[in-house]
Structure 1
Amino acid sequence: MVTRANAAVQNTKTELDVCLGKTGTPVGKLVFVRNGPRVFTQFGYFQEWLDHADTFNVSADLAAAPGFQTRKPVTKEDSLFFLALGDTEPDAWGRRVIARAHAKRREEDPKLGALTELDYLCAVDDFSRMGALRLRNARGVYLESAPEGRRATPPMLELEKMLSSSRAVELGKETAQDLAYLRGKGTSLGGMRPKCSILDKEGYLALGKFPSVKDERNVTRAEVLALKLAALAGITVSKAHVAVVQGTPVAVIRRFDRTPDDARIPYISGATLLQASRQDEHAYTEVLHAMKGACANYVVDAQELWRRQVFNHLITNVDDHLQNMGFLYMGDNKWQLSPAFDINPMPDKDRESKTWLSEDTGPITSMPQLMGQASQFALSHEQALAIVRKQVEAILQWRMVGQSPDVGMTKQELDEFVPAFEHASFSAARKLAGL
């Protein structure tokens, strides 16, 4: 896919088929166009897909109509691709690995051109690409795929090798072998932290999240702690545990966009549902408005969304941007809120949400503010109090859960997270709950 550095590169056009699911049902055509400095993409649905009995609009910013539609990003930070495809792009860590690998290849072959956004999109391993959208070239080959099927997504026993290679990249000491091993295993789930796709001990697709050399606290164990507490608090989350590799904790979190038989579930982020630019500020009430027409069980999802806001506030998870919210396809052109992910207690952060509660109230900063908006999320005062009570009961166990075998934190490690769990807002929630 990487182009050669000559005059022809300045005017290129690449076409790829966009397919859906394990069976690879053809959906449409993706076109990447570069005319000198002008770069844009187009997408056109296949008529067969529009006529398909199970057809649905794969991206909120696409019209379900024949003919090519053009995408020009609003800012340099926004995706060049229609948003559901943009949700499958490698995250910052994945891009870092891809760029480093390409730089080493250019040292050996100076004729290689610079990477394009299409190169990054196509470098994600097909087996582990987020959601159900897949890319296929003119030869019928899925991008990027390994000849031996699952070989590109390693099993748990290779965690040591992945950790070693990831650490080398962070330290700037990676070899070509490290980069070749990591390339394609990046994810679309966001962030600069080192991570890889992996098959867990039961053979399910999972995410392995490694400690960073810059960490000052045990962030990987704390994320698993947060997921365990969220489950106790009645929030839908993925199965997670800590695996220890040569004394280093790795968070292993099962992917929620696959079924037990490896079928792929279509996925879009909250930003895609809202058709939001990555630089814009938005509110949960705006998400609610979009959910009313999109979600199969709107009331259930609206209540779950409020439940997550309360939990995030009480454990000081303030990185609640729209890319950290997702939706899974239910059928009949309807979606549902995906399990919660990227939940991290942040003891050194101000307790202020990144996504506003409403356009009138601003960021989430207090329990009275959350309680005052509960009715907008289809909750009575009594229902909201019941949710708060269950969350307080769960979070009160944070030290005990942190020391459980699946998390494995020491007392000293837990002490470093006290400001995230024990604070004035939690005291206010406890008072509300009568506990």
Structure 2
Amino acid sequence: MTSQNKQKIAIFWHRRDLRLHDNAGLYHALRSGLPVLCLFIFDKNILEKLNDRHDKRVTFIHETVMDLQSSLAEQGSDLLIRYGTPEKIWEELTEEFQLGAVYTNHDYESYSKTRDTQIEALLKNKGIGFKTYKDQVLFEKDEIKTGQNTIYTVFTPYSRAWKAKCNDFFLSSYPTEKYFNRFFQTQPRPIPSIGEIGFERAQGAFPSQKISNDVLEKYEDRRNYPAQPGTTHIGIHLRFGTVSIRDLARKAFETSDTWLNELIWRDFYQQILWNFPQVGEGRAFRPEYDRIKWRNNEAEFKLWCKGQTGYPLVDAGMHEINATGFMHNRVRMVVASFLTKHLLIDWRWGEAYFAEKLLDYDLAANNGGWQWAAGSGTDAAPYFRIFNPTAQAEKFDPKGEYIRKWVPELNSLNYPDPIVDHKMARERCLKAYKEALAKS
């Protein structure tokens, strides 16, 4: 142990908050009176579940933490970066440093809650405090409740209550920059290479974290048309916290109520995941939907994954996600509805595929979106809403620009016939759902 390491310090543990600006937990750490050393852990428990050694999300995180370390070096400090399991790493850190307290921000997923409970117990056993704060959402857990003091399970009334409660207090940034002189002064340590954590660097650029006013001002008119530059592509930055939700919400209040609703959906699904944790464990929000007899035809699922269903809008969406890790939101609804309703394939199969492919994958939103499509989630609409992919294409890609971009083989001999007839599939779906729900 060096003499430098004998100084009592606080550690701020970055997870879904890879930034220094407007970071709740970091703000409280910097104001604690102890010098603050920042930490990021490449968590083996998470990384070992990823199948693609070129997973672009790992490349994004690796590049982001390198930038974060550079920013901290400018303050005479460092971002300590470790690779392994959190339990083992925290055991090592308590030996390496004299820790006064550990600060971090809330995470709402099942694995994260279990991990944090274990780390809190480990630290408490050594007399070290573990303090966590709300950062990635505006409202969490049970902060937005009905007049009957219950949790909202339908979005529209939740969003009204959210807007009624949201004010400057909740939108204000944490002024972390005022306290940058309180970072622990130390020399930068080596960063594990992407190869050392078991991956290879993925090619391609990532979306910008800057959103133009033009996109937001025209968001309501453009957002449903996948061929237009109508969406923000900010999802990966929200997922990993390279942007502040408070900054974005203030911008949304100023420019676009429709886009503000998209941010509120994030809060809504996070509070659903917290209050109804069974959804994150693979169960339907509405238990009666777990009685549906899914066909789960593996050959059809593979055709869906590869974008070879014979329905151009569905195939375009799947080609887009496979190539880029992104899919337009309107198209996500269509492809999810097609898998669950036309093919009667369990929504969990589609959710898992999106989890593997999406750059902006977030358990709460992904689960919520897939259960919405399947009819098993929080949405108030009846289960017999079944998107017609041909009609959706005619309405939202009327010139076929998006489809031609992602399905260049359209109108060639290489393009397959539809794998299922829409009318037959719709009737089969309604029958299967009715039979399952009749047992309620």
TM-score by length of 2: 0.31
Name the structure, 1 or 2, with higher relative contact order (CA <8 Å, separation 6+). 2
> Quick check: which one's helix share is greater?
2
Greater share of strand: 1
TM score, norm. by length of structure 1: 0.32
